[in-house]
Amino acid sequence: MKRRRMGSGIRRLGLLLLGIVAGAQAFEPLPEKPIAPATNPTTPAKVALGKALYFDPRLSVDGSVSCNSCHNVMGGGEDGRSFSMGVRGQLGGRSSPTVWNAAFLSVQFWDGRAPSLEEQAKGPMINPVEMGNPDHAAVVKRLQGIEGYKPLFKQAFNAPQITIDRVAQAIAAYERTLITPDSSLDRYLKGDKKALNESQVRGMQAFQDVGCVACHSGAAFAGPALPEGQGFYQKLPTFPGSAYDAKYRLTEDTGRFQVTHQEADRHMFRVPTLRNVALTAPYFHNGSVPTLEEAVRVMAKAQLNKELDDGQVLDLTAFLGALTGTFPRQEMPQLPPTPGRTAFAP
């Protein structure tokens, strides 16, 4: 057991050093699109099917919750709640992370329990609090009863058969289109030195000087690029004992420990992307911090043991606002109907 803990600690240290090295280099513009896995190439037909499934509440047991309910692509890619609401009005235990640019993350969920977008898509469907289905077979059976989905699956996969893997692949293909490039910072990095104002430039320097870049590096500001399934994690709080611990309940959630049950993973969380962070309040895994300015103060103290003055907070907040990108236009899809009957007939 001691050897396992030591190995885990060494891995975490290695990942942190990777982040520091990446942070020492220039900031990276966000790529125009992510790389799709060879097992799930992106095609227009698959994206169209995935978009319909993403917006279809019939993936939930009672037709009340869709993927978009908690990860609203008409906004910041989350739902603006401290805790997301699932079927029958139940509240989850964590705040919904944004789906925008999630394709650039090597693991999904706050605790990194899903190694890919495909695996992430499967989880909520059978979570009793989220979409509430008893199993994936129930989801497939309902979709099989909606005739309009069969030609969409045939176009996407060259076969009309509906399987849970194909459902997840289609949703993931759509999510890989949810990329927000061309932020003010991206334009600045590409040579437009007027794209950032003076406060944002000072904030960019403070981001490095204070130490934020040790974790929030890379094009997605979520850590170094890692192979799919290998997450970049950090402990929250790294420096416990401040007044923020109790005020924002920072030590209540044990994070990745709930997945691995290894002591080294207690209070470890996947480092979230900071892209579009100005649009995704409230903040942290429990949605306990209401404003970006306060989140900056909390992170400086809890993670770096530093107290910032008002000027630093304003500049850092201004810089984070420069990470808001250009959102591709989203239109609600026309969902396949069930003429003359309900999809939820017993």
> 60: left (phi > 0), else alpha (psi -120 to 50), else beta?
beta
Going from the C-alpha of 69 to that of each of 9, 101, 124, 164, 251, the distances in angstroms are: 37, 18, 12, 20, 28
Residue 216 labeled ligand binder: yes
Give the count of beta carbons closer than 10 Å to the beta carbon of residue 4.
Answer: 11
Residue 70 labeled ligand binder: yes
- DSSP secondary-structure letter at 327? P
130 counts as catalytic: yes
Question: Are the beta carbons of 172 and 40 closer than 8 angstroms?
Answer: yes
User: What's the rounded Cα separation, in Å, for the pair 18 and 163?
Assistant: 39
Cα angle value 71/77/81 (rounded, 5°): 65
Residue 71 labeled ligand binder: yes
b/e map of 157-176 (b: 16 or more CB within 10 Å)? beeeebebebbbbbbbbbbb
Going from the C-alpha of 63 to that of each of 55, 66, 150, 213, 343, the distances in angstroms are: 11, 8, 20, 42, 9
First to last CA, the chain: 50
Q: Which tokens go with 201? A: 């430039």
- DSSP secondary-structure letter at 235? E
Beta bridge partners of 283: 289
Catalytic residue chosen out of the listed positions 118, 130, 175, 294 = 130
Residue 212 labeled ligand binder: yes
Residue 125 labeled ligand binder: no
Kindly tell me the burial class for residue 91, based on how many C-beta atoms sit within 10 Å of its own C-beta (0-12, 13-18, 19 or more): exposed
Active site residues: 130
Binding site members for heme c: 67, 70-71, 212, 215-216, 299
Binding site members: 67, 70-71, 212, 215-216, 299
